[in-house]
Amino acid sequence: MLFDMLTPGRILFGPGTTFRIPTEVGRLGKRVLLVSGQNTLQLPENRERVLNPLTSSGLQLHHYRVDPEPSAEAVDRGRELARSQDVELVLGIGGGSALDTAKSIAGLYHSGEPTAAFLRGKEIDVDPIPWVAVPTTAGSGSEVTSNAVLIDRETGKKSSFRHERWMARVAVVDPILTMSMSRELTAWTGLDALTHAIEAYTSRWVVSPAAALAAEAVRLIVQNFFTAYTGGKKEAREKMALGSLMAGLALNSAGAGVVHALAHPVGSRYNLPHGLVCGVLLPHALQYNLPITVDAYAELGYRSAVVRRDASVEESADKFMLYVRKLVEKLGVPAKLGDLGLKHDDILNLVEAAKSSSSLSANARKATLDDLRAMLERNL
């Protein structure tokens, strides 16, 4: 067996790990670009746990706030600010948007080229500066991946780019930071994490360590998602954070699938949250991939206790897919993208935008452009 897995330099997980942030950041430098969402550090609990210890630690912080859907241009502005202050590292705190922006700023800090050039395929040929990741949502897994997803405002295209040297030096995952998420955000981020885990587990590129991480991520998410969504025990939030982390580690090695190939252009075209689009598409993708993935879905059904071990492979696979479909429904997510604005006249352009996605190459079942078109047409 041969495999190649990228992981962060260090992962700190568990309630209270935020107290380690000033120490971990201080080991890497004193001049810090702090990247966060617009309101992330305005929340009283986040100010108390994260911002106040940082500001009293002697670090030189330069705060940069980003919008929910990060763009190449936003990264350019962040790079300019970082260079003007001669920062030594970047600290990203927030959801996937903040972390992807922080990662991109650190990764392209030494380049004079605009971010859009790299997003469009230019080779990344500069070394990054260090960055530290602190997620406040349980969904994107960006804290443990080497890729970032951005919008190119000039072309209107949302796509990803990556480099193996873009892994965070330290990822600090404190589940307490996720407990202020609204029910809506809990649903959307959780569906993103569940999609990561399932698509990584069934990826044609998956190797044993990544498969083990993905399978455990599915189990954790399946068994704790609805409890976390309905405001249940803190333990459910902690396990959702762990599931998201493990799904991200698996995704970074195995890649995603057809859901993500379509979710990026659809989300960009209609200005929809990424996790929401993933949630709508996931049941459709599960059904499409079934001829190739029946054994994998069955195993996920067994491991997640959706069915007993004495159930047949076919029964377990069917009940696992049914669980996902019913979960999406209980989370208040529409069954079709048509309910979110999908128009028939846009389908060919959306398929065209999806065809270059690396996620298509990783998908368990080969998906042609006609397959993608048919999947979107079934969503009208």
pLDDT band at 4 (very low <50, low <70, confident <90, very high): confident
User: Cα separation of 80 and 91, whole Å?
Assistant: 16
Given a cut of 80, whether residue 56 has pLDDT beyond it is yes
Percent of the chain past pLDDT 90, that is, above it, reads 91
Task: Give the integer Cα–Cα distance in Å for 263 and 48.
Answer: 35
Domain annotation for the chain: domains and CATH numbers: 11-177 (3.40.50.1970), 181-377 (1.20.1090.10)
Read off the pLDDT of each residue in 235-252 and give the average, rounded to a whole number. 97
Asked if 91 and 131 touch (Cβ cutoff 8 Å), the reply is yes
Find the range with the poorest average confidence among 43-52, 100-109, 167-176, 269-278.
Answer: 43-52
Tell me, what's the pLDDT at 157? 87
Task: Give the pLDDT of residue 68.
Answer: 87
Contact residues for 138 (Cβ-Cβ < 8 A; gap 6+): 175, 178, 181, 186, 189, 190, 193, 228, 237, 240, 241, 243, 244
Task: Look at residue 295 and tell me whether its pLDDT is greater than 80.
Answer: yes
| pLDDT grade for 337, boundaries at 50, 70 and 90 | very high
pLDDT at 264: 94
Question: Does pTM top 0.85 for this prediction?
Answer: yes
Q: What is the mean pLDDT of residues 1-11?
A: 87
Is the pLDDT assigned to residue 250 strictly greater than 90?
yes
Rg (CA), the chain: 20
The mean of the pLDDT values for the chain is 96
Q: How confident is the model at residue 81 (pLDDT cuts 50, 70, 90)?
A: very high
CA–CA dist 379, 263 (Å, integer): 13
Query: For residue 166, is pLDDT > 90?
Result: yes
Q: What is the DSSP letter of 71?
A: B
Average pLDDT over residues 69-89: 97
**Residue 69 pLDDT class (50, 70, 90 cuts):** confident
Buried b (16+ CB within 10 A) or exposed e, 21-42: bbebbeebbeebbbbbbeebbe
